[in-house]
Structure 1
Amino acid sequence: MPSAPRLTLRPYAPADAGAVLSLVNADRLPGQPVATPQALREALAGRSPVDGGWWAELDPPATHVAVGPDGTVLGVVSRALRPKDATGLILWLHCREDPRTADALVGGALAALGPRPVEAFQLATALTRGLEALPRAHREATHEALERAGFHGEPQWRYLLIDLPAPDLPRAARVRTVPEPGDSHARRLEVRRGEAAAEAEAVIGLPVEGAGALWWIGVRPPSRRRGIGRALLGSALDALGAHGARQAFLYVETNTGRGGEDDRTAATALYRSAGFREVDTLHSYTRPAPPPGRQLPLPSRAAASVATS
């Protein structure tokens, strides 16, 4: 059987922008905006409107593309080093979920980062709207390439989506909408009685390409179990619809402390009963540093298929 054509990893060049954007947008989840040239420039520079403080802790990222024998760009991977703890990061990776290319990209990034702990898909990038981790079901080849390389994945978020309008939800009384400090594309909704502290609050992100974001919703403990959260959810979705949203998405943490303050069981049940559907579960990955004198595995196909230049 003839061997598969050899892939080459080389540094990203400005002429690769169109091909890389095509790869990124091939992985776009419902509700997420199309990645633009400006978003790509921000990601290449190591900037993001979400998780910006964590990005500031990193050295400038290095981005490489995987190309076939004819020079076609088949994949892209961006990596960086966090100096404060000498941890490497695989920031983002796209390859149209081709297993061989995924192996090559992961293997190339690990070879460049060297024998150190490495994290993958831990931060939101400028290429998405707050998507902090890898959508496991939509990115099966990437997930499997990471596992072959010795990474361990943990679910962090559920990505939920709803079509608008949502007419069956109640609406809250006494809702005040105010700007969200520091974010011109967000609004805060508050349920108040006079000048007292808000009983409940929600933060929405105004729609982009017809999809709005529900960034946060919370009800103060004395006001819980009275239906205020469900009513405020209805009002928040109405507000997004008034700004032209046809869909709304949200992220809810996977359950990490059943019964405690970080328990998201009730929130998840509320969203599902309101009509949100789960699009995917978002995973982040870690790979420990190899013990002294021992090399952790690279994906099995990477060494045979990648030449680094």
Structure 2
Amino acid sequence: MITRVGTGASTTVRPYVPQDRERVLELIEGDRLPGRPAVTSSMLGHVLAGCCPGDAAASLLEEPRTDVAVDRSGEIVGVVGWAVRAQDGAGLLLWLHCVEDDQVIAAVLVRHMLEQAGRRTVRAFEAPTAISFAGLPVRSRRGTAVALEAAGFSRQDGWSFLHHRLDTLRRLPYGVIDITECADPYGWYVRLREKDGTHIGRAVVSRPVEGTSVLEWITLAPQPDGSGHTLLQQCLAHLADRSVREITVLLDIPADHSWGPVRDLHRQAGFHEIDQLRPYTRRP
């Protein structure tokens, strides 16, 4: 199906075809956040098939679709991927990228997706995909956020996206650490201990891609002097020794925005907030 929209029908929305791959990868690259690896053709293939991390099969989504917006000259200026969830019939706007996060193009793609999905609840950026975390980066993708809200979507609680460059880490004397491989999630299990074997912390990090890992979770023994961030720095220093150059972490955003000690721990260890990732919901 081809939809013509905009003044003088200058923008056309049509189904994605394999020849669009390189241009779509360029659009995705233009929105890449610090600490995120470049999206490969293989990763794009997974998201085109509707596969999400943790899904047993793409059949969890009914008829995953990808459509592109094309301008009058034939240039692809935007792309949107969406599907219907088999479990509850909800529409899922899985991913969307457009030229310079243009609000007008984003609005065209959002409207197109809603028209095709029909009258149903639609959830946008709710689930992670093979190319992204869950949640729209609302600061760096302001045009898409505005387009969603103008179309009736409501912003939901999300995550703070933090980033740390480990090549800036000041080398510290640190205790003993054990690193072993784990399968769920696929990565490394990290155990911090004193020389006498006393347990002081555990963490799981994803296996690095292009020198970048995700800190999936960490738990540290309480430190009477409040130096828990030093233990986290020790963990990061060991990861740097294993060629991890950058690390990211997602922290839940409290409903009342009253950040607690977990946020302080990461900030003191050298993490900085890059953006806030927010899912959206629109009810019929």
Fold match by TM threshold 0.5? yes
Contact 2:229 2:268 in 1 (8 A): no
After TM superposition, list the pairs within 5 Å mapping 1:52-63 onto structure 2.
52=55, 57-63=60-66
Give 1:3 deviation, angstroms: 4.0
**Counterparts in 2 of 1:46 and 1:122: CA distance versus 1, 3 Å:** same
Give 1:254 deviation, angstroms: 0.8
Structure 2 equivalent of residue 10 of structure 1: 14
Q: Distance in 2 between the 1:237 and 1:63 partners? A: 39
Contact 2:13 2:68 in 1 (8 A): yes
Contact 2:51 2:130 in 1 (8 A): yes
Q: Distance in 1 between the 2:120 and 2:138 partners? A: 25
Q: Secondary structure at the match of 2:207?
A: strand
Give 1:204 deviation, angstroms: 1.6
Give 1:144 deviation, angstroms: 0.4
Give 1:70 deviation, angstroms: 2.4
Q: Distance in 2 between the 1:197 and 1:79 partners? A: 49
Q: Secondary structure at the match of 1:115?
A: coil
The structure 1 residue matched to 2:140, chosen from 138, 144, 149, is 138
The question of 1:243 aligning with 2:242 is answered: yes
The question of 1:29 aligning with 2:33 is answered: yes
Q: Secondary structure at the match of 1:52?
A: coil
Residue identity in the other structure for 1:114: G
Q: Secondary structure at the match of 2:279?
A: strand
> After alignment, is 195-204 or 234-243 more displaced?
195-204
Q: Distance in 1 between the 2:241 and 2:192 partners? A: 19
Residue identity in the other structure for 1:140: R
Structure 2 equivalent of residue 118 of structure 1: 122
The question of 1:209 aligning with 2:198 is answered: no
The structure 2 residue matched to 1:92, chosen from 76, 92, 95, is 95
Structure 2 equivalent of residue 188 of structure 1: 189
Contact 1:171 1:232 in 2 (8 A): no
Aligned residues: 277
Structure 2 equivalent of residue 292 of structure 1: none
Q: Distance in 1 between the 2:72 and 2:247 partners? A: 42
Once the two structures are aligned, what percentage of the paired residues are identical? 34
Structure 2 equivalent of residue 40 of structure 1: 44
Give 1:216 deviation, angstroms: 1.1
**Counterparts in 2 of 1:80 and 1:171: CA distance versus 1, 3 Å:** farther
So what's the TM-score if we normalise by structure 2? 0.88
Deviations 1:222-275 (Å, cap 9, x if unpaired)? x324457424312321232122222221111112488xxxx9621111111122
Residue identity in the other structure for 2:282: R
The gaps in structure 1 that reach 5 residues or longer are 290-309
